[in-house]
C-alpha cells in the first residue's frame, strides 16, 4: 500500500492556493487601499461591501496586466498560429476566485483581507455570475476559453431568464473596452453585380465595440484574451432615415434598439411582443461572426505572414484556426467567403480552399429540433449576399454528390444545404460540415451516432473528416476552487502535480482500502454537506437532514434530460412513506435545479410539477425529515460550485442516445459523488474508466431505444403493468399535487402517455431498482466511500487539458507552447510597454 507524503515532502511543495508571504500580503493591502481611494473614491467610513469587492478585484487585476501585455508581445514576436474559439455562449461564472487561484494569490489575498478586517467569502459573494450563456454548451466554452487563444463572441447583458439578469448593472472590473477597434457590421441592403464582382450595397450599419477580458493560465504567467462584442448605433444615425412602413426592415424600432442585438441572448417573452424573435437571433449570430472575422483579418495582416499583400492569404490557414462551437456561429463560413471574394478579390476556388482549411465544427446535439435551420426568406432580407454565397456553396457541393451518385436523387435531397420541404430553409449543420475540414462530437457514443445516423451521408463521403473529442472540465475551478478540502486532502497523499496532470489521480487507487484516507474523504464530504445545508436554510428557509443522501439533478430543464423521471421517483418514495411510516427508509434530500427556455412550455410545466410536489412533501408531518425536495432557483455556475461538492448522488438519466456528452457528470465524479445514470453521453466513458460496477447504471441502451422506436413505444403497457407507476400518474392526473387546479398538469400527462419521445415509463422500473441499490449501499458508509475514491481516481481522462491538447494536435494543427514569460515585479514595469503592446492585441 502506498504511503502518504511526509511532512518534509509536503513543505517542499508550493501550496495549491499559493504562498502567503509577508511581502505579498503587504503589497496586496497597499493595492487594495489605493483602489478603494483612487479608483472608487471611497474610504472605510462610507465604503460598501461591493466597493470592497471592486477594490480587491482591481488589485488582483493589477497582477494580471503585466502578464497579459507580455503574452500579447510574445505572440506578436513569435507569430504562432492562433486559435479562435467562436461561440455564442461563454458561461464563465465568477472571475475573482478563479483568477486568484490561477495566479497563486489565493492564500495571500485571504490573509490580506483578514488583516483588513474583512471577510473574503462575503466579498466573493458580491460578484455577479457573468450572464454569457445558459446550459452545457456555454459551460463547455467557458471552460475551454480558459486555456487557448482569443475567444470572441457577442457581449450579452441579459440571458435566457423570465426575470432579467442584469449582471452588468454595477459594472465589470475585469473587462477593458477597446473603442479604437470598433468595427462596422452590415445588415439588409441589396446585391449589385458589377464588372469587379458582387457588391453588397444600401446596407444598415451597426457598430461592434470590443471588450477584452484577461484569461490567466494556471501558475504559468500566460494570460490569453476573451473578446466580447457589444452593439452600438453609428454616430450618423438619423431618425429621418427611418420613415418607412412598420413592416419594413428599416422601421424606427429596428433602429432604436440597435443595442438590443447584444442586450439579450435568447429572448425574454416581453421582447417577442415587439420584435421578430428569429430575426433578432440571426442578427446576433451574424453580428458576432462579422465583427470577429474582421478582427481576425486585421490581426492577420499585422503579422509577419500577413504583410506581403493579397498573396499572403495563402498562409491564412497556417496562421488561423477557427473552431465553431455548434451551429450558432455558422454564418462565419459565408462571411469569410464574402471577405475573401468580394473584398480581398480572391477567386472562388482559392477562397473556398482557404475557408475549409480554416474552420472546424463541434456538434453538440443529435436532436433534430436543436439543429438550426434559417428560413431562406429571412436570409434574403437580412443578409442577401450571404444567401447568394450559400447557394453557390450548395450548388458546388451537390455537383460533387451528383457526379458520385448520379441516380440517387434522395441522397442529393438529404445532403443539400437547402431544405425544400415546407418553408425553404438553410440547414446550418450541413453548412458547417461542408465548410469545415474537421467535424467532431463530444463523447464517443455521440460521435458514433453522428457518423452512423445523424450525418451518415456526410461521414460516408468524407470519413476522415469526422472525429471524437470527449469533453473535459478544468480541475482548477471544479476542485481547487469549489472543493479546497478535498483538493488539499488529495495533495497530501499523492502530491500536487495532479492539478496540471489529472491522470495522476489514478494513484488514489492505492488508498482505496486505507482506513485513514476513507475516514478523511468521508469527513470532507460531510463538512461540505453541512455547509450547503446551512446555505439552504439561509436562502430557502428550509431545514434538511445533513445525514440524508443528497440526491442532486441540476442541468437545463428539458424533456430528454428526464427530470420528470426523477420526479416520478420522488412521488413513489413519498407514497411508500405514507403507506408505512414506520418502515425502514434511508433519508433523502432531493435537489433539482436548472432553467427552462422562455418559450418551452413543457419545460416550465416540469418545473411546476417539481415545485408542486415539493410543496406537498415538505409540508407533510408524516414525512418529516425522511424526504425533502428542493428546487434551486436561478441555477448558475456559482451555485453549482456550492452544491456539487456536497452531492452524494449525481442524476444523469437522459434517454440513451440523446445527451451529447454532459460535463456536470464529470464535475460530480471529481468531487466524490456517485452517478446514477443511463449509458448515454460521457456516462459511457465514465463507466469504462471507473468500472460499470462503480456506477448505478440502469435502463435501455442505444440499441434498445432504436429497437423500441422501430417496434413502437406504448406508454400504456408500462402504466398498466407497474402498479407504483400507475399510482403516481393517477395522483398527478387527479390534481393531488394541484388541488386548486386539477387540470394543471394535463399537457404534461398527455405528453407522457401519448407523445413521449424519451420513453420515461420504459425506464421507470429499472430506475427504481437502481435507486434501491443506492439506498442499500449508502447504509454501509465504508463501502460507499471506497466506491467514491474509485470514482475520483478514474476522472483523469475528463480534464479539459486533455481535451484541448487533442483539439490542438488533431484539429487545429498547433503544438502546446511553454511561453516562459517572466512575471513582472512591479505593475510599473508593464505600464512602460503598454502602448506598443496594445496595438498588437
- pLDDT, averaged per 10 consecutive residues of the chain (841 residues), comes to 45 52 87 97 95 97 95 91 92 91 95 96 92 56 40 34 62 94 97 94 96 93 93 70 42 50 50 60 95 96 65 90 96 98 97 98 91 96 98 98 96 97 95 98 97 97 97 96 97 96 98 98 98 95 95 97 98 98 97 93 98 98 97 94 98 97 96 98 97 98 97 97 98 97 97 98 98 98 98 97 96 80 52 51 51
State residue 396's pLDDT score: 98
| Same domain, residue pair 147 and 111 | no
Helix or strand or coil: residue 344?
A: coil
**pTM score:** 0.90
Helix or strand or coil: residue 799?
A: strand
CA distances for 120 relative to 14, 113, 247, 307, angstroms: 22, 6, 54, 49
State residue 3's pLDDT score: 54
Burial class of 586 by CB neighbour count within 10 A (0 to 12, 13 to 18, 19+)? middle
DSSP assignment, residue 479? I
Distance CA 750, CA 745 (A): 8
DSSP assignment, residue 339? I
Distance CA 676, CA 650 (A): 6
Helix or strand or coil: residue 549?
A: strand
- Residue at 87 is within a domain: no
- Residue at 215 is within a domain: yes
Query: 465 with 441: CB under 8 angstroms?
Result: no
What are the E-state strand segments in 261-378? 320-325, 359-362, 373-375
- Residue at 565 is within a domain: yes
CATH number of the structural domain spanning residue 361: 3.40.50.2000
Provide the grid cell at 779.
Answer: 447504509
| Same domain, residue pair 310 and 456 | yes
| Same domain, residue pair 141 and 117 | no
- Residue at 803 is within a domain: no
For residue 574, how many other CB atoms are within 10 A of its CB? 22
Provide the grid cell at 15.
Answer: 501550496
| Same domain, residue pair 224 and 351 | yes
Angle among Cα 24, 27, 33 to the nearest 5 degrees reads: 140
- Residue at 85 is within a domain: no
Distance CA 651, CA 657 (A): 16
Locus of grid cell 438553410: 426
State residue 169's pLDDT score: 82
The residue from 468, 495, 516 where one domain ends is 468
The residue from 443, 468, 493 where one domain ends is 468
Chain centroid to Cα 466, Å, comes to 22
Among the listed residues 207, 122, 128, 208, the one whose alpha carbon sits nearest the alpha carbon of residue 164:
128
**Structural domain range at position 170:** 136-468
Angle among Cα 829, 835, 836 to the nearest 5 degrees reads: 95
- Residue at 495 is within a domain: no
Q: b vs e for 549-568, b when ≥16 Cβ sit within 10 Å of the residue's Cβ?
A: bbbbbbbbbbbbbbbbbbbb
- For the chain, how long is the longest CA-to-CA vector? 88
The residue from 468, 488, 505 where one domain ends is 468
- Residue at 619 is within a domain: yes
State residue 237's pLDDT score: 53
Spatial strand order in the sheet of 466-468: 82-86, 320-325, 359-362, 438-441, 466-468
- Residue at 100 is within a domain: yes
Residue numbers annotated as active site: 364, 555-556, 561, 663, 667
In this structure, the dihedral spanned by the alpha carbons of residues 520, 522, 527 and 530, taken in order and rounded to 10 degrees, is: -170
Q: b vs e for 116-145, b when ≥16 Cβ sit within 10 Å of the residue's Cβ?
A: bebebeebbebbbbbbbbbbbbbbbbbbbb
Query: 423 with 374: CB under 8 angstroms?
Result: no
| Same domain, residue pair 103 and 173 | no
| Same domain, residue pair 109 and 163 | no
Distance CA 576, CA 580 (A): 6
| Same domain, residue pair 595 and 655 | yes
Distance CA 782, CA 395 (A): 64
| Same domain, residue pair 371 and 321 | yes
Distance CA 725, CA 686 (A): 30
Among the listed residues 514, 623, 645, the one whose alpha carbon sits nearest the alpha carbon of residue 3:
514
Among the listed residues 348, 313, 284, 269, the one whose alpha carbon sits nearest the alpha carbon of residue 155:
284
| Same domain, residue pair 231 and 297 | yes
| Same domain, residue pair 113 and 197 | no
State residue 801's pLDDT score: 95
Query: 594 with 557: CB under 8 angstroms?
Result: yes
Among the listed residues 570, 565, 749, 561, the one whose alpha carbon sits nearest the alpha carbon of residue 655:
561
Locus of grid cell 478563479: 98
In the chain, the number of structural domains is 3
Helix or strand or coil: residue 678?
A: coil
For residue 88, how many other CB atoms are within 10 A of its CB? 24
| Same domain, residue pair 552 and 624 | yes
State residue 92's pLDDT score: 84
Provide the grid cell at 718.
Answer: 408500462
| Same domain, residue pair 220 and 279 | yes
Amino acid at each position: 500500500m502506498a504511503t502518504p507524503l511526509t511532512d518534509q515532502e509536503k513543505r517542499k511543495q508550493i501550496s495549491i492556493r499559493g504562498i502567503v508571504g509577508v511581502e505579498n500580503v503587504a503589497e496586496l493591502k497597499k493595492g487594495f487601499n489605493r483602489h478603494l481611494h483612487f479608483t472608487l473614491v471611497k474610504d472605510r467610513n462610507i465604503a460598501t461591501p461591493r466597493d470592497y469587492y471592486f477594490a480587491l478585484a482591481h488589485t488582483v487585476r493589477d497582477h494580471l496586466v503585466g502578464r497579459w501585455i507580455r503574452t500579447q508581445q510574445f505572440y506578436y514576436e513569435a507569430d504562432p498560429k492562433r486559435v479562435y474559439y467562436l461561440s455564442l455562449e461563454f458561461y464563465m461564472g465568477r472571475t475573482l476566485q478563479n483568477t486568484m487561484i490561477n495566479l497563486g494569490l489565493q492564500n495571500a489575498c485571504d490573509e490580506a483581507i483578514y488583516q483588513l478586517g474583512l471577510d473574503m467569502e462575503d466579498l466573493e459573494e458580491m460578484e455577479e455570475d457573468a450572464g454569457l450563456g445558459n446550459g452545457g454548451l456555454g459551460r463547455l466554452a467557458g471552460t475551454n476559453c480558459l486555456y487557448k487563444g482569443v475567444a470572441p463572441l457577442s457581449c450579452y447583458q441579459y440571458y435566457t431568464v423570465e426575470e432579467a439578469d442584469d449582471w452588468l448593472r454595477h459594472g465589470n472590473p475585469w473587462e477593458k473596452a477597446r473603442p479604437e477597434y470598433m468595427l462596422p457590421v452590415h445588415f439588409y441592403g441589396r446585391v449589385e453585380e458589377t464588372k469587379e464582382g458582387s457588391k453588397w450595397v444600401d446596407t444598415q450599419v451597426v457598430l461592434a465595440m470590443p471588450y477584452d477580458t484577461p484569461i490567466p493560465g494556471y501558475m504559468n504567467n500566460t494570460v490569453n484574451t476573451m473578446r466580447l462584442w457589444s452593439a452600438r448605433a453609428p454616430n450618423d444615425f438619423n431618425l429621418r432615415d427611418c420613415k418607412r412602413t412598420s413592416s419594413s426592415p428599416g422601421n424606427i424600432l429596428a433602429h432604436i434598439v440597435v443595442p438590443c442585438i447584444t442586450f439579450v441572448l435568447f429572448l425574454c417573452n416581453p421582447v417577442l411582443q415587439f420584435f421578430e424573435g428569429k430575426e433578432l437571433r440571426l442578427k446576433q449570430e451574424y453580428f458576432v461572426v462579422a465583427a470577429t472575422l474582421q478582427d481576425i483579418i486585421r490581426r492577420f495582416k499585422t503579422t509577419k505572414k500577413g504583410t506581403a499583400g493579397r498573396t499572403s492569404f495563402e498562409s491564412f490557414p497556417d496562421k488561423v484556426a477557427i473552431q465553431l462551437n455548434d451551429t450558432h456561429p455558422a454564418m462565419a463560413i459565408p462571411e469569410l467567403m464574402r471577405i475573401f471574394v468580394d473584398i480581398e478579390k480572391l477567386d472562388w476556388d482559392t477562397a473556398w480552399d482557404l475557408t475549409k482549411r480554416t474552420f472546424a465544427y463541434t456538434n453538440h446535439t443529435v436532436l433534430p429540433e436543436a439543429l438550426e435551420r434559417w428560413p431562406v426568406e429571412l436570409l434574403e432580407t437580412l443578409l442577401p449576399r450571404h444567401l447568394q454565397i450559400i447557394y453557390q456553396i450548395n450548388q458546388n457541393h451537390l455537383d460533387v454528390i451528383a457526379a458520385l451518385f448520379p441516380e440517387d436523387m434522395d441522397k442529393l435531397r438529404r445532403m443539400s444545404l437547402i431544405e425544400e420541404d415546407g418553408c425553404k430553409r438553410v440547414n446550418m449543420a450541413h453548412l458547417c460540415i461542408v465548410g469545415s475540414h474537421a467535424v467532431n462530437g463530444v463523447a464517443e457514443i455521440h460521435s458514433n451516432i453522428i457518423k452512423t445516423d445523424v450525418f451518415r451521408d456526410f461521414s460516408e463521403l468524407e470519413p476522415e473528416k469526422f472525429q471524437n473529442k470527449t469533453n473535459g472540465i478544468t480541475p482548477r475551478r471544479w476542485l481547487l476552487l469549489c472543493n479546497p478540502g478535498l483538493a488539499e486532502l488529495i495533495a497530501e497523499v499523492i502530491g500536487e502535480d495532479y492539478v496540471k496532470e489529472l491522470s495522476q489521480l489514478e494513484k488514489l487507487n492505492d488508498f482505496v482500502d486505507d482506513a485513514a484516507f476513507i475516514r478523511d474523504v468521508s469527513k470532507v464530504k460531510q463538512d461540505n454537506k453541512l455547509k450547503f445545508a446551512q446555505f439552504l436554510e439561509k436562502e430557502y428557509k428550509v431545514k434538511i437532514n445533513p445525514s440524508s443522501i443528497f440526491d442532486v439533478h441540476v442541468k437545463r430543464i428539458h424533456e430528454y434530460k428526464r427530470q420528470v423521471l426523477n420526479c416520478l421517483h420522488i412521488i413513489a418514495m413519498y407514497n411508500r412513506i405514507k403507506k408505512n411510516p414506520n418502515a425502514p427508509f434511508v433519508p433523502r434530500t432531493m435537489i433539482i435545479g436548472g432553467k427552462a427556455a422562455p418559450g418551452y412550455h413543457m419545460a416550465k410545466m416540469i418545473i411546476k410539477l417539481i415545485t408542486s410536489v415539493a410543496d406537498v412533501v415538505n409540508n407533510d408531518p408524516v414525512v418529516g425529515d425522511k424526504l425533502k425536495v428542493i428546487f434551486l432557483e436561478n441555477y448558475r455556475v456559482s451555485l453549482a460550485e456550492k452544491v456539487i461538492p456536497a452531492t452524494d448522488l449525481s442524476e444523469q438519466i437522459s434517454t440513451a442516445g440523446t445527451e451529447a456528452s454532459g460535463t456536470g457528470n464529470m464535475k460530480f465524479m471529481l468531487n466524490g459523488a456517485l452517478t446514477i445514470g443511463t449509458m448515454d453521453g460521457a456516462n459511457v466513458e465514465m463507466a469504462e474508466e471507473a468500472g460499470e460496477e462503480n456506477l448505478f447504471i440502469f435502463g435501455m441502451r442505444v440499441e434498445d431505444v432504436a429497437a423500441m422506436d422501430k417496434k413502437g413505444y406504448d406508454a400504456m403497457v408500462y402504466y398498466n403493468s407497474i402498479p407504483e407507476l400507475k399510482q403516481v400518474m393517477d395522483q398527478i392526473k387527479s390534481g393531488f399535487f394541484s388541488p386548486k387546479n386539477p387540470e394543471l398538469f394535463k399537457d404534461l400527462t398527455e405528453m407522457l402517455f401519448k407523445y413521449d419521445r424519451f420513453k420515461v415509463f420504459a425506464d421507470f422500473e429499472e430506475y427504481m431498482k437502481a435507486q434501491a441499490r443506492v439506498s442499500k449501499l449508502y447504509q454501509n458508509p465504508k463501502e460507499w466511500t471506497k466506491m467514491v475514491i474509485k470514482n475520483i481516481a478514474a476522472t483523469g481522462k475528463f480534464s479539459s487539458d486533455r481535451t484541448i491538447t487533442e483539439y490542438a494536435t488533431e484539429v487545429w494543427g498547433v503544438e502546446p507552447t511553454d511561453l516562459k514569460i517572466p512575471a513582472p515585479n512591479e505593475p510599473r514595469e508593464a505600464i512602460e510597454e503598454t502602448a506598443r503592446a496594445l496595438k498588437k492585441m
